[in-house]
Structure 1
Amino acid sequence: MTADPETKLRADARRNRDQIIAAAKEMFAAQGPDVPMEEIARRAGVGVGTLYRRFPDREALIRAVAQHNFALVLEEARAAAREEPSAWQALVRLLRQSRELRLSVQLALVSPLAWTILRNDAKTQEFRDAILDVLDGIVRTAQQDGTLRTDIGTGDVAVLVSLLLRRIPFAPDEDLLLDRALTLILDGLSARQGSPLPGAPTSAFDLMRAKHSRKEAPPGCA
């Protein structure tokens, strides 16, 4: 049987969109968000006209890339909370898989245009808040289980993640350094007796309140 023409058209449009987003993610990561749109189209294997039909300007493409990244992180966070046998293992899995956020965070840090887009996009903020909500549940459960230190809050964990997502200049092996840093962070988060922390725990609410009251600086992932 021959596929319905309208169904095939929709499938082609979806495939083109996915190819463009994948190419944009790769090129943004390598060259930054100012890479020419024509080069992105070429990398995606589509015509420039097709790219502009899907994304009428650079802002729309940056927004789509960020939303795609945050959606993947939210999906992974929910999967970790649902599938892992303990909250601590869910937290470890989530932190180890958090690098999908790195491109969006780095875009916001190095590009004023990207920072403005991500700050003002309601869907991106919705994804961020949903990720924080899932993380909050994991943190609270791990603390109740006795595996995560109790003198921290979800905001503290989110801030640590945001530090991992920043680019390390001149690193000989960035992935290895990040793996080492993550191992140190997990050791510091465990419920074993450690050094006392100054101040009070930072909650997810503290981060969201600060995010809405301070609009002048890039947000990291928190």
Structure 2
Amino acid sequence: MPTATAPAERKVTRPRADALRNRERIVGAAREMIVEHGPDVPIDEIARRAGVGNATVYRNFPDRDALVREVVCSVMDRTAAAAELALAESGDAFTALEHFVHAAADERIGALCPMVSDTFDQHHPDLQASRERVERLIEEVMGRAKAAGQLRPDVGVGDLMIAVGQLSRPPAGTDCPRGDRFVHRLLQLFLDGLRAPARSALPGTALSIKELRAS
């Protein structure tokens, strides 16, 4: 009587470590160059900065939209991670908010706006998932500071994100490294204006994320 043989184990193919490193280098180089030059930066320039060939870029990302989308998602995911770190802080809620805002500025989230609006489908599931995650976490960070009576109640997530986005961009005609010198100084001035009690009444109403998307 023939003996039963165990079913063959299914082989799971995992990306090689060097392939993962190449992908990370490509995304990092694309993020830097898109911040510096905009989303239309040539692929060969991105490949050169990443230290890989064009074929390696296209092997990981079949077209420009796929690469830019990965950059946007990676920035939002890193921003979400900064918000999670802020929520994990056990001390002053406004200090945690400050830490998050400065970390978000370092991710250059201000460069995302033209990429999200101009280059590809804003409703791609990967993009939506990253966006919803970061928005939810920012609401939690701000909500905790408001509940502590430290953040003025008349500001919304949209207000915060517009300010961080604008203040983290270098002024027109200024190269990025030179503009970076002033980002955190200006952000701290802005943050001081968010503290409760408020020194003045703001015109209009708090800007929500929903309103920010529609504007």
With the length of structure 2 as denominator, give the TM-score of the two structures. Answer: 0.80
The alpha carbon displacement at 1:182 in A equals: 1.0
The letter of the residue matching 1:160 is A
Percent identical among aligned pairs is 36
Correspondence for 2:19: 13
Correspondence for 2:179: 174
* Cα distance in 2 for residues equivalent to 1:72 and 1:15: 17
* Cα distance in 1 for residues equivalent to 2:93 and 2:198: 19
The letter of the residue matching 2:133 is A
* Cα distance in 2 for residues equivalent to 1:134 and 1:162: 17
Measured against aligned partners, the alpha-carbon deviations of 1:72-126 in whole angstroms (never above 9, x if no partner) come to 1111111111125122111000111112442x542543x6x86232624332232
Correspondence for 1:106: 111
The alpha carbon displacement at 1:163 in A equals: 2.4
Matched, 1:195 2:197: no
The letter of the residue matching 2:62 is P
* Cα distance in 1 for residues equivalent to 2:46 and 2:120: 19
The alpha carbon displacement at 1:209 in A equals: 5.2
- Tell whether the 8 Å contact from 1:108 to 1:118 is kept in structure 2 after alignment: no
Matched, 1:208 2:206: no
Change (3 A) 1:209 1:189: closer
Correspondence for 1:38: 44
Give the alignment partner of residue 80 of structure 2, picking from 74, 77, 80: 74
Correspondence for 2:97: 91
* Cα distance in 2 for residues equivalent to 1:108 and 1:85: 32
The alpha carbon displacement at 1:57 in A equals: 1.2
* Cα distance in 2 for residues equivalent to 1:82 and 1:118: 33
Matched residues, number:
201
The alpha carbon displacement at 1:162 in A equals: 2.6
Give the alignment partner of residue 165 of structure 2, picking from 156, 159, 162: 162
The alpha carbon displacement at 1:70 in A equals: 1.0
Unpaired segments ≥5 residues, structure 2: 1-12
